[in-house]
Amino acid sequence: MSHQAIYRKFRPKTFDDVIGQEHVTNTIKNQILNNNIAHAYLFSGIRGTGKTSTAKIFARAVNCINSKDGNPCNECEICKSILDETNLDVIEMDAASNNSVEDIRDLREKVKFMPVRSKYKVYIIDEVHMLSKGAFNALLKTLEEPPEHLLFILATTEPHKIPATILSRCQRFDLKRLLVNDIVNNMKKICSEIDIEVEEKALKLIAGNADGAMRDALSILDRCITFGYKKIDYEMVLNLLGTVNYETIIKTAEAIVDKNIENVMNIIDDVLNQGKELTLFLEDLIVHFRNLLIVKTTKSSNNILKTIDEVVESLKKQSSKLDTDEIIMYIEELSETQLECKRALNPRVLFEAKLIKIMQNKNINDVSSLIKRIEKLETAIRDGNVTLSSANSINKNTPIKRQEVKLKKENTKKPNKTTDDSIREIKQVSSDTNNSVEQIKNSWSQILKMIKSEKISLYAVLRECTPVKIKDNTAFFEFDTKFKFHMAAADKDENKAEFKKVLNNCLGTNYEIKFIQENENIDDNEEQIAEEMEKKVIEVFGEDLVEIE
């Protein structure tokens, strides 16, 4: 007998065997027990989560002579004939290859006939979203008024492509991605049945790469069994998947954070010389920084980490060296690199160049540390108690004699004549250009000075942006694409509120604030379009020949 794939050999036979979809199976069992079966069902979800398996179990359960608690017995004549695929009353269709109007019209003619020996005639239509628009329209009437003996079970991975008229006539069930632990436990059970020795570490690696799909996990396990015969270990799975040992990922991330370019280049060279796929290596690196972010920001990180338990402590140790903003910066930069590498003719060169750029990017560490030091100093000044020793701790490279210097609080309460004069000057400059971006542009340098006097850390990021437009009482400020960190810092709620307060106070306006990146589209209003058209007409025909009414 020819080899049968594991996912087919161990396909669930009852609703209780379907893993991780209790919200679906329990509902269907109750409907069968209460004889409250609908005429059409839709099972949606990613590949390998049990849509077709559940549909086949359902087809047996509604026709089973000796149904047990809503499950098929799989022993009666009807169940056996459906399992052997010899029952003419259960028809499986692949909508990918039977998607025309003629196919559905043919189906409509056949559904009129009564079942041969079963209670229900069941049509299982897989990948139903592949039907053409005409085929959906042809199916609609049958779904709306089906014969009593007919049951439709539709399955799809893309429910958003199915017309609303079809969806509204089906009972929809969304099958979830499976948890890593559920996949691991099922594979343990299978390996025990077929007498295969396997490391739990290897099973977790397989489950992590299955991305919530049981069929994908069992397909990988099948390959491992074929390769390793009676024993499966972690290194074998790594070699079959073409992925990189997690210790190597940790070392690479450590070298990137430490800005050790030579070490990173050597690791990349070793990884690629072993025949590993560069895109998979980059994907693992991004997932690692994602895990660092989870460890850094959540207390229940163990439940959502996509990694093995042994490396959790290493993640916690490495995350302590980084701020949240830095980790997010690394994820963004590496994700952009991944996208560009997929289109590059020589992805290795691009990957190496991008990594060097990331490691030499002073914005990642320097700007964030500078802002922290400035905010620390601002807090000390605001409290009216500054010591040279605290200043020395802010900049450890500058030796300062430790002696205390106190600021008198009453000085901070005195009215700032310079500030009042600046506000008057800004309002005077902007009085002739009200309600236009020129109002802000003409006063931008003075506004920045005001911000600097109020909050120097905010000034450090806002000086990299430019006022570009006012639309619907919203002032737009543009950052160059290389200043993503500055834009993120400026867009924080407290910074945005401070900027809005200073800007509107200076201009006597009530603008909302929005930050955008260079070349980001803003809907143009009719007035600006007209102004641009006027300029173009004057350029072409000359000012003497054009009269604007």
pLDDT in tens, 221-269: 998 888 766 788 888 888 888 778 888 888 999 999 888 999 999 999 9
Residue 1's pLDDT is 46
CATH of domain 180-241: 1.10.8.60
In the predicted model, what is the mean pLDDT of residues 150-175? 93
The answer on pLDDT for 313 being more than 70 is yes
The answer on pLDDT for 492 being more than 80 is yes
What SS3 class is residue 474?
Answer: strand
Residue 58's pLDDT is 95
Region of residue 91 (left: phi > 0; alpha: psi -120 to 50; beta: else): beta
The answer on pLDDT for 503 being more than 90 is no
Share of the chain above pLDDT 70, in %: 79
In the predicted model, what is the mean pLDDT of residues 341-351? 90
Amino acid found at 429:
V
Amino acid found at 402:
R
Give the tokens for residue 42: 């839709």
Write down the CATH superfamily of domain 6-174.
P-loop containing nucleotide triphosphate hydrolases (3.40.50.300)
User: Whole-angstrom Cα distance, residue 247 to residue 254?
Assistant: 10
CB-based contact 282:334 (threshold 8 Å): yes
Looking at per-residue pLDDT, the higher value among 182 and 303 belongs to: 182
Residue 358's pLDDT is 87
Give the tokens for residue 414: 């005195």
The answer on pLDDT for 490 being more than 60 is yes
The answer on pLDDT for 60 being more than 90 is yes
The answer on pLDDT for 182 being more than 60 is yes
Q: What is the pTM of this model?
A: 0.62
* Cα dist from 131 to 14, 122, 486, whole Å: 29, 19, 48
The answer on pLDDT for 530 being more than 90 is no
Give the tokens for residue 474: 């919203």
User: Whole-angstrom Cα distance, residue 447 to residue 193?
Assistant: 74
Range 246-360 has CATH code 1.20.272.10: yes
* Residue 172 backbone dihedrals phi, psi, to 5 degrees: -100, 135
Looking at per-residue pLDDT, the higher value among 104 and 309 belongs to: 104
Q: Per-residue confidence at 306, pLDDT binned at 50, 70, 90?
A: low
What SS3 class is residue 148?
Answer: coil
Domain spans in the chain, listed from the N-terminal domain onward: 6-174, 180-241, 246-360, 365-413, 417-527
In the predicted model, what is the mean pLDDT of residues 170-185? 92
SS (H, E, C) 286-323: HHHHHHHHHHHHCCCHHHCCCCCHHHHHHHHHHHCCCC
Q: Per-residue confidence at 126, pLDDT binned at 50, 70, 90?
A: very high
Amino acid found at 171:
Q
Q: What is the mean pLDDT of the chain?
A: 82
Looking at per-residue pLDDT, the higher value among 33 and 231 belongs to: 33
Residue 429's pLDDT is 47
In the predicted model, what is the mean pLDDT of residues 429-452? 74
Fold agreement (180-241, 246-360): no
